[in-house]
């Protein structure tokens, strides 16, 4: 005589049976892995830089024209002589105390006269969680390439 199926199985028993299927288990593992990946990738956006550590003047100019935040870390006297229009001046020695003036939600391109101080400024920003890069060759090369400038260097 065939065995009768028990129609009074509890929902918990049916769930347990369902969860024992290998395809269901694999699907759950994949779902958990996806959630972990999404959490990790979104959290990394604020601390990990997506920009190269150093970029060429040509790349910097392209980013500048696209609206990237350009930070000049030269002195006020150097700035007064000549600078990139719409750049923001925060001298390197003042940068650690003025980080609140730099937008944290944008890419930052740091420029100086020749490229040395901009590397220091970039590192200060990176250590503070900003997405920053520095311009190799600095504003001297920017000017030599004929890119936008207000003022002119003293010859």
Catalytic residue numbers, as ranges:
112
Contact 88, 69 (CB under 8 A): yes
Contact 137, 114 (CB under 8 A): yes
Contact 72, 87 (CB under 8 A): yes
Residues whose CB falls within 8 Å of the CB of residue 124, separated by 6 or more in sequence, listed in order: 95, 96, 99
The Cα–Cα gap between 84 and 69 comes to 11
Where residue 3 falls (left for φ over 0; alpha for ψ -120 to 50; beta otherwise) is beta
């Amino acid at each position: 005589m065939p065995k009768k199926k028990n129609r009074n199985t509890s929902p918990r028993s049916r769930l347990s049976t369902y969860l024992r299927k290998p395809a269901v288990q694999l699907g759950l593992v994949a779902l958990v892995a996806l959630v972990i990946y999404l959490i990790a990738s979104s959290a990394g956006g604020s601390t990990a830089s997506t920009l190269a550590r150093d970029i060429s003047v040509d790349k910097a100019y392209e980013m500048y024209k696209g609206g990237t935040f350009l930070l000049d870390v030269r002195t006020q006297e150097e700035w007064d002589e000549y600078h990139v229009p719409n750049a923001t001046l925060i001298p390197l020695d003042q940068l650690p105390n003025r980080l609140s003036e730099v937008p944290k939600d944008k890419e930052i391109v740091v420029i100086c006269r020749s490229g040395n101080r901009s590397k220091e400024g970039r590192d200060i920003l990176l250590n503070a969680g900003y997405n920053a890069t520095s311009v190799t060759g600095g504003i001297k090369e920017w000017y030599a390439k004929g890119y936008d400038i207000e003022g002119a260097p003293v010859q």
